[in-house]
């Protein structure tokens, strides 16, 4: 998720991560079990905003339990099955679906839980505004960070419970459906069509998405690509603008692949909705932008860089807990600065000075490594997070810094991490680097601005 204040142009998955997070995402998720795979069969009618779903979760217990809870908000459950057998006494409790297991079940037990449900989906409102499933003027989208996934399917909605997905969406044939991963089939029956997507990479529920709209695709003829397939799905009226505004995305892909390591997924899709959106948002292997982000003048290009960088930081390398959100946003913000530097429009040192001056005018009452619920998406988490990385780079030099970044991604690919993991990674490179990081993320006082990085400008590796 980008901040809004920047200028325009210028088996590791299931490791225990102690405790729930009542102060960040209240009553969300369960540490009793994990889900290895979700199979979602959805029938959605745009005209009436009616969703009918069957969601199968392949569950493995992490604790002995007599019941488990799924997060599900605003939709009505009609039937629940475990391994094909009907469950008689499931119940709803607020935004939870409670499923009895028919007796005490031990750690490591596996089962398939299938939930049949329906309703008129909509976003949920919380400290971060409205998130989740949202109707558009002519279509729908899911933008679920941080707690909106239960608005469209029953899930274990915590960032450390990552699963693979198969998502099948049936809707009116005039609409295009875009979801995470690869489109494996699209079949039409009368006036409706079913699109099936396979996503084989571990994905947190908040990063799963479906996008429904009247979209055309800008393919290689309209958007030059190289090794990584990239498609922009866009309404016809915005086609020319989007081709220009996302036209340098392949250059970004090459730059970031050199600086951060190989792109971690099989493809990258962008959806530009026909509606204006307050902010763009990342999903796994996919990003969502509004029509206002395609103005034909590249005024939102920093956001294009920001969302692409999240594919490495936040998606391939995921969060174990929300308090460490700076690991996602600090890296994505710093990637914007690296892109400007690559273009030669503003060197990283000058960008750091600019935003440091802005932080001097802000209250110093936030701890970036544990900002709390209300401040987890505060602009200072982004800027101080980026400046923390810049400080480490200045202390380490370019070669060491980008080697440790590539090593960080490679070591934790398809896993979840904490700030302490990152400290340990820095300390393994050079103990002093963890000490450089700490004042930026663990203290409210603003450290001195670091010197410019040694070793020239980062250009990536081909």
Closest CA to 240 of 265, 218, 264, 210: 218
- 99 in the Ramachandran plot: left (φ > 0), alpha (ψ -120 to 50) or beta? beta
310 has binding-site annotation: yes
Contact between 181 and 200 (Cβ < 8 Å): yes
425 has binding-site annotation: no
Q: Cα angle vertex 232, ends 227, 234, to 5°?
A: 170
Crossing angle for the helix pair 326-343 and 379-396, to the nearest 10 degrees: 60
Q: Between the CA of residue 269 and those of 6, 120, 139, 156, 179, what are the distances in Å?
A: 24, 27, 18, 25, 9
Q: What whole-number distance in Å separates Cα of residue 42 and Cα of residue 53?
A: 4
182 has binding-site annotation: no
Q: Between the CA of residue 455 and those of 108, 309, 347, 396, 431, what are the distances in Å?
A: 50, 23, 13, 10, 21
Q: Between the CA of residue 431 and those of 272, 386, 387, 410, what are the distances in Å?
A: 44, 20, 19, 20
Q: What residues are designated binding site?
A: 306, 310, 329
Q: What residues are designated binding site for Zn(2+)?
A: 306, 310, 329
């Amino acid at each position: 998720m980008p901040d809004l204040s920047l200028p325009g142009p210028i088996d590791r998955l299931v490791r225990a991560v102690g405790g729930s997070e009542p102060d960040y995402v209240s009553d969300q998720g369960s540490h009793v079990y994990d889900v290895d795979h979700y199979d979602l069969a959805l029938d959605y009618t745009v005209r009436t905003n009616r969703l009918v779903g069957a969601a199968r979760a392949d569950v493995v217990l992490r604790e002995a339990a007599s019941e488990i809870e799924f997060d599900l908000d605003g939709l009505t459950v009609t039937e629940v099955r475990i391994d094909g057998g009907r469950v008689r006494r499931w119940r709803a409790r607020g935004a939870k679906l409670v499923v009895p297991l028919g007796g005490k079940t031990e750690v490591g037990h596996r089962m398939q839980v299938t939930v049949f449900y329906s309703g008129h989906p909509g976003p949920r409102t919380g400290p971060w505004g409205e998130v989740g499933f949202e109707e558009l003027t002519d279509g729908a989208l899911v933008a679920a960070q941080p707690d909106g996934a239960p608005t469209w399917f029953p899930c274990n909605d915590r960032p450390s419970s990552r699963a693979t997905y198969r998502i099948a969406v049936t809707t009116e044939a005039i609409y295009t459906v875009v979801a995470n991963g690869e489109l494996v089939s699209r079949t039409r029956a009368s006036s409706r069509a079913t699109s099936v997507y396979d996503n084989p990479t571990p994905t947190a529920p908040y990063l799963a998405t479906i996008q429904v709209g009247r979209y055309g695709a800008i393919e290689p003829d309209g958007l030059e690509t190289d090794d990584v397939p990239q498609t922009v799905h866009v309404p016809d009226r915005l086609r020319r603008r989007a081709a220009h505004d996302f036209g340098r995305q392949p250059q970004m892909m090459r730059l970031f692949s050199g600086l951060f390591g190989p792109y971690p997924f099989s493809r990258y899709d962008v959806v530009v909705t026909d509606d204006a959106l307050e902010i763009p948002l990342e999903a796994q292997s996919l990003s969502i932008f509004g029509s206002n982000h395609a103005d034909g003048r590249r005024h939102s290009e920093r956001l294009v860089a920001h969302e692409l960088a999240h594919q490495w930081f936040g998606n391939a390398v995921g969060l174990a807990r929300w308090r460490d959100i700076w690991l996602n946003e600090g890296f994505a913000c710093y990637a914007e600065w690296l892109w400007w530097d690559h273009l030669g429009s503003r060197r990283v040192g000058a960008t750091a000075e600019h935003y440091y001056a802005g932080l001097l005018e802000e209250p110093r009452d936030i701890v970036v490594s544990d900002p709390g619920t209300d401040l987890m998406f505060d602009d200072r988490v982004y800027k101080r997070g980026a400046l923390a990385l810049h400080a480490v780079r200045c202390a380490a030099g370019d070669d060491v810094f980008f080697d440790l970044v590539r090593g960080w991604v490679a070591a934790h690919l398809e896993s979840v991490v904490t700030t302490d993991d990152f400290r340990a990674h820095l300390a393994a490179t050079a103990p002093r680097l963890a000490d450089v990081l700490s004042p930026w993320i663990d203290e409210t006082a603003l450290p001195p601005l670091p010197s410019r990085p040694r070793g020239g400008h980062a250009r990536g590796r081909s």
